[in-house]
Amino acid sequence: MEPLPPPLLFYAAPPHGHVICSEKWRNSPLVQSLKGVQIIFENELRVADFLLPNKTSVLYVSECDIIAGSSYKRKLVRYRNAGSSFQEVVLVEKTRLSEQYFPAVQRFVVFDLGLSLLPVGGQTDASQLIAQMVHGEGRENPFRRRSSCRLLDRLVPALVQQIPGVGKVKALVLLRHFSSVQQLCNASPAELESIVGQASAQQIHSFFHKQIAGT
């Protein structure tokens, strides 16, 4: 019996110069040495570790993950199957300790899963890499592929526009304030009101929270 896959989350890319980061990284060396990058912590970021403004998502596989056995494979499979609109990149710690396992990890990530892999020496190494990708945003992203990545870029705003009272303009404004539909769903009426005004705020809140008749 496989556990249920994580919910499919529709994330929007973070603003320029920002990184969305899963909460568990808050006190890590990687985040602390991220220079010149604004960090948005998100506690529901289950599948990826980082989201970058160039629509890249990053999963970090540590030395410990690799040495501990094959359980890192499950994490990688879930990552790929999450079906996000982001270009998935896997950072793998290649250290003195994990070196001997690296070829096997590489084979699994690249050949079996078809993901991009970047070896890093450690968290400081990785933070430089992430800072470069955030800062050098203007340049082309070498990991960019599959045009189908663009599919959700149109789908997410279209989805938000299904909310009564929300059209093209407000959908885009909302997605600038909330990095995911999930965050939008959990927003308080007061928070919504400051963004789209009272009328739409109520419609949005009841869209997500109204009860089905009889339950």
Partner DNA sequence: CGATCACGTTC
Partner DNA sequence: GAACGTGATCG
Residue 25, both tokens: 């990284």
Which tokens is 49 given?
């570790």
- Of the candidates 58, 170, 183, 187, which one interacts with DNA according to CB under 7 A? 170
Taking CB under 7 A as the criterion, the residue among 66, 171, 184, 204 binding DNA is: 171
Token pair 């496989």 is found at 2
When binding is defined by CB under 7 A, the residue of 119, 122, 157, 165 that contacts DNA is 165
Could you say whether residue 167 binds DNA (CB under 7 A)? yes
- Applying CB under 7 A, does 164 fall inside the site for DNA? yes
Pick the stretch among 5-13, 28-36, 111-119, 196-204 that binds DNA (CB under 7 A): 196-204
CB 173 to DNA: min, Å:
7
Q: Which stretch binds DNA (CB under 7 A): 23-31, 69-77, 136-144, 164-172?
A: 164-172
* Spatial contact of 48 and 33, defined as CB atoms under 8 Å apart: no
Q: Which of 6, 83, 114, 197 binds DNA (CB under 7 A)?
A: 197
Interacting residues of 119 by C-beta distance below 8 A, sequence separation 6+: 91, 92, 93, 94, 102
Q: Judged by CB, which is closer to DNA: 27, or 162?
A: 162
Quote the distance between the C-alpha of residue 88 and its chain's center: 9
Using CA atoms, how far apart are residues 160 and 128, in angstroms rounded to an integer?
Answer: 35
Q: Which residue number, 100 or 194, has a Cβ lying nearer to DNA?
A: 194
CA distances from 122 to 11, 55, 60, 94 (A): 27, 23, 10, 8
Closer residue to DNA, CB minimum distance, 5 or 197: 197
Per CB under 7 A, residues contacting DNA are 161, 164-171, 196-201
